[in-house]
Structure 1
């Protein structure tokens, strides 16, 4: 299944809580909807990170954890993988993980309820862009200080959050590159093996043709000899 992540640096405004939300289909990495905090400077800084996110989505595997936090300097990524769809946010490091995963679960519930029959048939990127309004409302809800102080009502229990894996974004990227290289080497070996089998089959066929031609030639010589010896 693919990690959906975005790598960020300190240039992104640290006063924001949830800076970016991305929902993508895992099988082919198709982005379904994204929501970015309205800030011109922030949006410029996120361009490269969005590109890296798409790369990481393609690296999700069936063994990827269904919930994971990724450390990226002064910001953290949190993602939830559910029913072939990855829900990801980029948040400030001081944004509570319990709130992050409550946000993701609420976004997942709303999105899957609204688009359950269309998720795997849509073919154009950002086909559910109208869901951005829902994400904006959720982001506002979870960055509201009145909600921030009332964590006891959140959907995700604190003990469950503590069991969620924490990884470093750089390690994930490097591991993904290593796996990609292994996949490429395996593909090269597979291609070489297939070419070898094809060449071997061609040689065997050529050898068989040559053998049959020799036999036919010998038979013709014998028949010619008998014809000229006894019938001419």
Structure 2
């Protein structure tokens, strides 16, 4: 489940838009998670990882940074990372088109709060079980979610400095940010072949099962 979504300006952490899953019972302390998100925004700068997952017990924060704007979502820890980041990429595309040119000049918090309507609509697409089955061919740069930087939210927020230069430190589990490199293209291609092989094996097993059943 995608629970809390927030969009903020990286330069000063100014919240631009937000949305909370009001009917979700598992997120009991909404002010706490909002506070965690705002603290994280204040840790970001131009050197921060542009794609990152921050683990928080049974929850996970996922964020992307594009054109000086951070798109962040809080999800249950077992929610697929690929879908969470595809959701953020979707928000980025729409938000940047509507408000991208206005972001550097605004000074009032949540001045694009009307964007919540789009957030809620998109959230339903990525959380509805029937819709999720149709998202297997998501067009996103985050196909290889295993290469995302992963850290612990408490350790990050306790640091005195900004969230940057995490590579090589103990709190980083997988300190490789995504880049458009030949290595990433190779991994994406290998991942695609693995998925095709899995589908082929499934159909072969299905055929064998059907033949065995009717014999």
TM-score by structure 2 length?
Answer: 0.70
Shift of 1:79: 0.2
Query: Greater CA deviation, 130-139 or 150-159?
Result: 150-159
Shift of 1:96: 0.4
> 1:173 and 2:187 equivalent?
no
Change (3 A) 1:129 1:158: closer
The separation in 2 between residues aligned to 1:34 and 1:57, in whole angstroms, is 13
The equivalent of 1:106 in structure 2 is 90
Does the CA-based 8 Å contact 1:98-1:157 persist in structure 2?
no
Q: Which has the higher helix share?
A: 1
> 1:19 and 2:3 equivalent?
yes
- Unaligned residue ranges in structure 2 (runs of 5+): 164-215
Cα-Cα RMSD: 2.0
Runs of 4+ in structure 1 off by over 4 angstroms are 40-44
The separation in 2 between residues aligned to 1:77 and 1:56, in whole angstroms, is 10
The equivalent of 1:148 in structure 2 is 132
Residues 27-68 of structure 1 deviation map (CA, whole Å, 9 limit, x = unaligned): 111100000001386675110221232122111132211000
Q: Could you tell me which of 13, 16, 37 is aligned with 1:32? A: 16
The equivalent of 1:97 in structure 2 is 81
TM-score by structure 1 length?
Answer: 0.65
Change (3 A) 1:162 1:131: same
Query: Across the two proteins, how many residue pairs are aligned to each other?
Result: 163
> 1:50 and 2:1 equivalent?
no
Larger Rg: 1
Does the CA-based 8 Å contact 2:71-2:92 persist in structure 1?
yes
Residues 118-148 of structure 1 deviation map (CA, whole Å, 9 limit, x = unaligned): 1111111000010000000011000010122
Shift of 1:104: 0.4
The separation in 2 between residues aligned to 1:27 and 1:158, in whole angstroms, is 24
The equivalent of 2:49 in structure 1 is 65
Does the CA-based 8 Å contact 2:61-2:74 persist in structure 1?
yes
The separation in 1 between residues aligned to 2:161 and 2:11, in whole angstroms, is 20
- Unaligned residue ranges in structure 1 (runs of 5+): 1-16, 181-232
The separation in 2 between residues aligned to 1:61 and 1:152, in whole angstroms, is 33
Change (3 A) 1:48 1:83: same
